[in-house]
Amino acid sequence: MLSAAGVLQQVAATGYRFTTTTPLTHHRVLARRGREAGITLRDIFGWNLPFEADAVPAALLAEMEHAGILGRSGPLWRSTVRIATIDDDLFFHSAYPTVEANAVFFGPDTYRFVRFIRHALQQRSTQGLARGTMRVLDVGCGSGAGGIAAARALAAAGMAVAVVMNDINPLALQFTAVNAEVAGIPVMLAQGDALSAVEGEFDLIVSNPPYLDDAAQRAYRHGGAKLGRALSVRIAAESLRRLAPGGQLLLYTGVAIVDGEDSFIADMRPLLAASGCEWSYAEIDPDVFGEELERPVYAHIDRVAAVGLIAVRTPEVA
């Protein structure tokens, strides 16, 4: 991945755009297209189709090979990464299907997470943000989309930022480093288990933890015990303790709703009360990953909802 920025820059120069779908939608599109080879860059880096060598410019093919992201698929070539876009930013993420233990996931949740961050920061901009350089942390950054979106939103509000990207997965940090470099966002990388990998307080913490109960316990997908919400509760609890005065936590996650009850916010209420933070909480999407309900572990739940928690530490709380 050392020279992968050149791939992303060449693809960006073409005006490439691709919205990454859920794995189920991706599967259906590929099934519809059959065994055809990829022709366009959207085919190759979006739908991840195998392709003939002459489907991409020779310079780009050479750059892919040099970066170690060019593989074989029978007699054809295949990119070992995909590229998604959010506005003008491009993001490397894992090839389809994302079955490896160290896969870096990007999909509709990523877009919802970015919108959540942007909306929350826009709403708060009218109240005024901390002066000086804001210390920003993206916990479990994956592709780095959340931290990059936060940095862009704060820069648009005239704020200087110092961004720390954290993930337990080394491959995620490799992707994040390239994505941030091409986006022009300086970042510091912190490998390790959430807040234990970083020191000090932060003016803004954003996080989109995995929230499903995954039998294979893949890092990008498994949220731990309690139907997958344990990790989100832990990250939120640790983040509340690491907010600087006036600091803000923006946590986007999913929760299994059982008999109409949201156990994530039930777990969080006493932690939020003890923190002294002002907070708000809302469902962002009432029904995501509906196919998970076919798995035995979710046989008794109503739905999986995407939710957003905003917590602000008041300056008076020490």
pLDDT in tens, 208-217: 999 999 988 9
Nearest to 264 by CA among 275, 276, 252: 252
Residue 138 scores a pLDDT above 50: yes
Residue 262 scores a pLDDT above 80: yes
pLDDT, tens only, 152-176:
999 999 999 999 999 999 999 999 9
Write down the pLDDT at residue 2. Answer: 52
Write down the pLDDT at residue 187. Answer: 98
Average pLDDT over every residue of 163-192: 98
Answering whether pTM is above 0.85, one says yes
pLDDT, tens only, 104-128:
999 999 999 999 999 999 987 545 5
318: pLDDT confidence band, cut at 50, 70 and 90?
Answer: very low
Write down the pLDDT at residue 316. Answer: 55
Write down the pLDDT at residue 315. Answer: 79
Average pLDDT over every residue of 258-276: 97
- Helix then strand then coil, in percent of the chain rounded to 5, is 40, 25, 35
Q: Which domains does the chain have, with CATH numbers?
A: 4-94 (no CATH), 108-312 (3.40.50.150)
pLDDT, tens only, 223-259:
999 999 999 999 999 999 999 999 999 999 999 999 9
Write down the pLDDT at residue 255. Answer: 98
Residue 296 is classified by DSSP as: G
Q: Say how far apart CA 57 and CA 234 lie, in whole Å.
A: 47
Q: Say how far apart CA 155 and CA 157 lie, in whole Å.
A: 5
Mean pLDDT of the chain: 94
Return the structure tokens found at 170: 């080394």
Residue 46 is classified by DSSP as: I
Omega into 296 within 30° of 0, i.e. cis?
A: no
Write down the pLDDT at residue 131. Answer: 62
pLDDT, tens only, 4-14:
999 999 999 99
Write down the pLDDT at residue 129. Answer: 56
Return the structure tokens found at 219: 């890092």
Residue 94 scores a pLDDT above 50: yes
* AA letter at 150: A
